[in-house]
């Protein structure tokens, strides 16, 4: 690892959507995964295809217990242990940890509490509470070497807590789950439509755009639109909403907007040393 490379931060959304979610964040010497909702093989293969095959994995942060966020955790834990010769911690709230099915439960779990800092190497991690229909779901704010990243998906509404943690970040990874018109006109049964648009469901494009308009600061450089519904959204609709919100916000004119994909990893976002 060169001295210059060690002063970079790399972010790659390996998978994002209703079938599986996983994001990598690393500075070349220490690395984190957020969620393990795709198979361990897919995690490692997608890291390899993104040029992150040798990137370190020192901890895995779990947001909540739904299958599309934890189904690869147990096997991934075993594979990382075999690769490194030791286990790495899988971090989650006690509520989330208690609800993970045995088939998905990783070998080693550490508990974290919302609003309390947890460190992994130089990374300072703070979980924050979000509204979703699970036991104790969280988003994450991660700070390292002067950079800040916020990650919030699977939330039915914004709150003062969410807005606080999404302010003043370099990178925001935020749910743009559904287009409300598509959801209401689509083929989901009524009970599922109600669940998706409830305050414990998922953010619509409009809700996410309103949130971005409120929190985007001159510091923002990258916005990743995450957890898009295959049935009830389209990337172009989400991007239109995001760009309009950014134009109304305090964000710079050159914020890069990326849409996370279910089928392939995003381009690696690289932040240079501050």
Residue, of 1 and 187, whose pLDDT is higher: 187
Alpha carbon distance 43, 5 (integer Å): 22
What is the β-pairing status of strands 90-92 and 109-111? parallel
- The domain limits of the chain are 5-271
Strand ordering across the sheet containing 138-144: 117-120, 123-129, 138-144, 147-152, 171-175, 222-226, 256-259
Alpha carbon distance 171, 175 (integer Å): 13
What is this structure's pTM? 0.95
Which pLDDT score, from 0 to 100, does residue 108 have? 80
Q: Helix, strand, or coil here: 93?
A: coil
pLDDT at 253 over 70: yes
State the sign of the Cα–Cα–Cα–Cα dihedral 156, 126, 122, 45.
Answer: negative
Alpha carbon distance 232, 144 (integer Å): 35
Structure tokens at 124: 């300072």
Residue 259 forms beta bridges with which residues?
225
What does the pLDDT look like over 96-127, one tens digit per residue? Answer: 999 999 999 998 899 999 999 999 999 999 99
CATH class of the domain comprising 5-271: alpha beta
Biggest alpha carbon–alpha carbon distance for the chain: 55
Cβ pair 228, 183 in contact under 8 A: no
Alpha carbon distance 174, 118 (integer Å): 22
Which pLDDT score, from 0 to 100, does residue 165 have? 98
What does the pLDDT look like over 9-33, one tens digit per residue? Answer: 999 999 999 999 999 999 999 999 9
């Amino acid at each position: 690892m060169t001295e210059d490379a060690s002063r970079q931060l790399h972010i790659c959304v390996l998978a994002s959507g209703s079938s599986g979610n996983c994001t990598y964040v690393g500075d070349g010497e220490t690395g984190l995964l957020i969620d393990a909702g795709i198979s361990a093989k897919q995690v490692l293969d997608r890291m390899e295809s993104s040029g992150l095959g040798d990137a370190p994995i020192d901890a895995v942060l779990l947001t909540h217990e739904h299958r599309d966020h934890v189904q690869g955790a147990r096997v991934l834990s075993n594979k990382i242990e075999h690769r490194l010769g030791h286990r790495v911690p899988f971090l989650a709230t006690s509520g989330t940890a208690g609800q993970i099915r045995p088939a998905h439960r990783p070998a080693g779990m550490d508990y974290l509490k919302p609003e309390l800092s947890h460190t992994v190497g130089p990374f300072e991690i703070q979980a924050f509470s979000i509204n979703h229909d699970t036991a104790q779901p969280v988003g994450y704010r991660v700070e390292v070497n002067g950079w800040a990243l916020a990650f919030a998906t699977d939330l039915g509404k914004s709150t003062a807590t969410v807005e606080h943690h999404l302010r003043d970040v370099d990178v925001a990874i935020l749910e743009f789950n559904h287009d409300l018109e598509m959801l209401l006109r689509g083929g989901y049964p009524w009970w599922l439509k109600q669940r998706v648009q409830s305050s414990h469901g998922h953010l619509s494009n409009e809700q996410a755009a309103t949130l971005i308009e409120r929190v985007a600061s001159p510091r923002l450089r990258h916005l990743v639109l995450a957890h898009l519904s295959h049935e009830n959204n389209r990337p172009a609709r989400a991007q239109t909403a995001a760009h309009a919100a950014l134009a109304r916000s305090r964000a710079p004119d050159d914020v890069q907007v990326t849409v996370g994909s279910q089928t392939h990893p995003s381009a690696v976002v690289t932040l240079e040393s501050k």
